[in-house]
Structure 1
């Protein structure tokens, strides 16, 4: 009897897969029968039954999805919930501090500041201040009072004849093609209004970048805006674009292989008329950035390219942007700066956690050094070579608040670039559909029906207001620590909890190289001890092998 009952139960469970289909099929005669009593209700039930039956029968006989064939209709509910899972998680499930990739609290800070809404918090912090990794800045009993919050840094080494007084907070590189024309125009108008710089991204200078804001022209491996018909660097085209008064600095983008893509065009690589105009690539053809530069092939070659660009642009600052990879390659680059006497005026250090577009999950999650590690390695190297004072360091990756700026300044940065913070300011809701071309806010799309809804004057005002509010918060952070400029933050100001009963400053937690130490015979810092002597300026690879 028990065995028979078990078999019956198993058979029932087997057929209950089709219960939703049976229900919708039954709705057809039920609805038809009800039409005599309640015509509207009966017709509605019958129509729903017909639609559901057609869908369920299709599921039974299609051969592409096993789950839908085994569970007609029921499986569709699973796909529906999966489709809305990111929104459900973001709005109803995730913690306010869960950075996936940006927390709700981070986004809310940007939204409030962009809208001019008071950003104070009642009743104290929501963070667990006794958890491992909690960080804070020490304050001072001797606070300062600053009359001006227009924090500037002068970028331009001894070989630069036209230095640029840059804001400490600027817009990071986001190409037209990855961002919509309205988004680019709004950001550039904001840069003009707020007196800060707008990096073009490797897609070069488009018509939407020419709204009066200061520009940092980014040169990637595709040489967009300064390429010949074969995709090689064209000195004459570079000279013409660099002569624009709006171009204040030039940035050579390295490490393209760390984040592969299609020249910053999303979702596809086809070139439209406006993109063609900016990049110098024929309409309708593939627009791909090679994984490495063709204008140079060694650290010494990079230095020569820097010197060439500085001469072609009339002495404006020329820098490089990189995400730190093999340490010996960075060491080779730094040695070339020191030995040739040709150094960039600034270095933008990107973190592996950055990125405004899209990349394979393996690259997004596991390629490139995170910002703090990369920045400290670059800072230490330049200090050890005695050339840190001639090169400004700009940090770029998941920087949102004034605390983020103070923290990264304490670890060696002179200024910061923000990409996604400014995207939030003009309306990004972190829908994470950037790669589809179907951005709901019209920011990362080339679909006119979507980006026309992005009202340029309003978004420009919001982005400028976000920058001003962030700078004001930075001013207050400096005053409370007894400082007059963010560049006065040191590792001694930043405290980090490393255990339930242990707190250490960044000065004691991390290894810091003394000025000129690398010129005096190396360093005990692990990375330098292992790789420094193996880096040469004539090639990127290690010059010796060994453990």
Structure 2
């Protein structure tokens, strides 16, 4: 939800609502603007493949430009975006007509030119190199939490990341799991519809793999992907999330009508435009309160659901509490659909059966799966438990 993609009035309203409600506002990969700073709400600084706000003109990461920003007490965490549910493996573009002098200054790019977010990071090419980059950002930010955001595709890539954490003993502080069902009017339709693992399956997978490697106690999980209701919060926390992000719901609170003109600078509600004549239709004083109320009432709804289940805290939620219909005459709890695995069970053989393939295909030295070591027969057998939903496998963009 970057400034540049969104208008200054949208950013002011989101951060003002976060300040009123005591929750955090993710900057998106477009850098930290004055409109993020002025209301004073807590910020999670997202750094994407373009390194906006902490880059040289050639697009390479700039250590000095990065170091000065996290010193602000308003910046609570730093998030490295590997990929997003809207368009995993794709990269992005901010059209030249949206690149004003102000946006060029904030992003450290040239005014009036298309701004490209590459599909891959230039600072690291392997999971081991990624963990070194995590350590560098943590050191340069004075020890603030550093995490990653990704949309799961090929499971072997996430196994590789976990193996790198175990080997280096460098752990991310949090992982934001983005569902493949995410997307905006600026997303390529094929990617939004067909690339990446849906949030429910991805969330259970990430929790189980972290548990299997003995890493969950070090890492918080944030879920992101069409989170807009109290039951969405309950459902995701039951599957393994510690907290949830909401983008779509917050856009609706700002007045988004899904006109699908996010990339054209002609958003009629003033949310996704830099056109002053359109932007003025988004009244900050009104939308700030709407953002605050959406958050407050959604959390209150989740609390009511917990009370109805006889629970006092989200920590008590397990997969046994949520049921779903899997056939016309069959219901299953999440615990039946996504059974837990023992802690540490991926640190030694034999591995749980459904994770054997991922372990065989992954190495901390590369994001690329080692397919050539597995015969087609072995692959077909091991993959028999895969998702019934067809998705294109891609997650970390590397």
TM-score (structure 1 length as normaliser): 0.66
Q: In the alignment, is the contact (CA less than 8 A) between 2:98 and 2:274 conserved in 1?
A: no
Write the distance in 2 (CA, Å) between the matches of 1:279 and 1:342. Answer: 29
Write the distance in 2 (CA, Å) between the matches of 1:501 and 1:201. Answer: 43
Deviations for 1:395-430, whole angstroms, at most 9, x for unmatched residues? 000011000110111111111000010111111122
Aligned 1:270-289 pairs, distance under 5 A: 271-289=99-117
- In the alignment, is residue 416 of structure 1 matched against residue 264 of structure 2? no
- In the alignment, is residue 334 of structure 1 matched against residue 334 of structure 2? no
Query: Against the structure 1 CA distance between its residues 324 and 420, is the aligned structure 2 distance closer, same or farther, given a 3 Å change threshold?
Result: same
Find the residue that maps to 1:321 and give its secondary structure. Answer: strand
Which residue, out of 392, 396, 419, partners 2:220? 392
Aligned 1:524-535 pairs, distance under 5 A: 524-526=352-354, 528-535=355-362
Deviations for 1:282-327, whole angstroms, at most 9, x for unmatched residues? 2122210111001111000111110100010001100000001211
Find the residue that maps to 1:320 and give its secondary structure. Answer: strand
Write the distance in 1 (CA, Å) between the matches of 2:371 and 2:281. Answer: 58
Deviations for 1:326-381, whole angstroms, at most 9, x for unmatched residues? 11111100111112110110000001111235222211111111111111111111
Q: Which residue of 1 aligns with 2:28?
A: 201
Cα drift, residue 522 of structure 1:
4.5
Q: In the alignment, is the contact (CA less than 8 A) between 1:474 and 1:486 conserved in 2?
A: no
Q: In the alignment, is the contact (CA less than 8 A) between 1:513 and 1:525 conserved in 2?
A: no
Write the distance in 2 (CA, Å) between the matches of 1:261 and 1:295. Answer: 16
Q: In the alignment, is the contact (CA less than 8 A) between 1:269 and 1:287 conserved in 2?
A: no
Aligned 1:253-264 pairs, distance under 5 A: 253-255=81-83, 258=88, 260-263=90-93
Q: Which residue of 2 aligns with 1:437?
A: 265
Q: Which residue of 1 aligns with 2:2?
A: 175
Find the residue that maps to 1:435 and give its secondary structure. Answer: coil
Q: In the alignment, is the contact (CA less than 8 A) between 2:179 and 2:225 conserved in 1?
A: yes
Find the residue that maps to 2:277 and give its secondary structure. Answer: helix
CA RMSD for the aligned pairs? Answer: 1.6
Write the distance in 2 (CA, Å) between the matches of 1:404 and 1:281. Answer: 38
Gap regions ≥5 residues in structure 2: 377-398
Write the distance in 1 (CA, Å) between the matches of 2:371 and 2:183. Answer: 34
Query: Against the structure 1 CA distance between its residues 500 and 179, is the aligned structure 2 distance closer, same or farther, given a 3 Å change threshold?
Result: same
Find the residue that maps to 1:227 and give its secondary structure. Answer: coil
Query: Against the structure 1 CA distance between its residues 432 and 458, is the aligned structure 2 distance closer, same or farther, given a 3 Å change threshold?
Result: same
Cα drift, residue 270 of structure 1:
5.3
Cα drift, residue 228 of structure 1:
1.2
Find the residue that maps to 1:431 and give its secondary structure. Answer: coil
Write the distance in 2 (CA, Å) between the matches of 1:305 and 1:499. Answer: 45
Write the distance in 2 (CA, Å) between the matches of 1:209 and 1:339. Answer: 37
Q: In the alignment, is the contact (CA less than 8 A) between 1:511 and 1:525 conserved in 2?
A: no
Deviations for 1:6-30, whole angstroms, at most 9, x for unmatched residues? xxxxxxxxxxxxxxxxxxxxxxxxx
Q: In the alignment, is the contact (CA less than 8 A) between 1:177 and 1:446 conserved in 2?
A: yes
Write the distance in 1 (CA, Å) between the matches of 2:237 and 2:256. Answer: 27
Q: Which residue of 1 aligns with 2:76?
A: 248
Figure out how many residues of one structure are paired with residues of the other and give that number.
371
Task: Work out which of the two has the higher radius of gyration on C-alpha atoms and give 1 or 2.
Answer: 1
Higher relative contact order (CA 8 A, sep 6+): 2
Query: Against the structure 1 CA distance between its residues 525 and 411, is the aligned structure 2 distance closer, same or farther, given a 3 Å change threshold?
Result: farther
Cα drift, residue 269 of structure 1:
6.6
Which residue, out of 184, 188, 193, partners 2:11? 184
Gap regions ≥5 residues in structure 1: 1-173
Aligned 1:125-164 pairs, distance under 5 A: none
Cα drift, residue 516 of structure 1:
0.9
Q: In the alignment, is the contact (CA less than 8 A) between 1:522 and 1:532 conserved in 2?
A: no
Cα drift, residue 478 of structure 1:
1.4
Cα drift, residue 475 of structure 1:
1.4
Write the distance in 1 (CA, Å) between the matches of 2:240 and 2:350. Answer: 20
Deviations for 1:198-240, whole angstroms, at most 9, x for unmatched residues? 0000001011111201000000010001001221111111001
Aligned 1:310-389 pairs, distance under 5 A: 310-389=138-217
- In the alignment, is residue 521 of structure 1 matched against residue 319 of structure 2? no
Q: In the alignment, is the contact (CA less than 8 A) between 2:4 and 2:98 conserved in 1?
A: no
Which residue, out of 282, 287, 291, partners 1:463? 291
Write the distance in 1 (CA, Å) between the matches of 2:224 and 2:72. Answer: 25
TM-score (structure 2 length as normaliser): 0.90
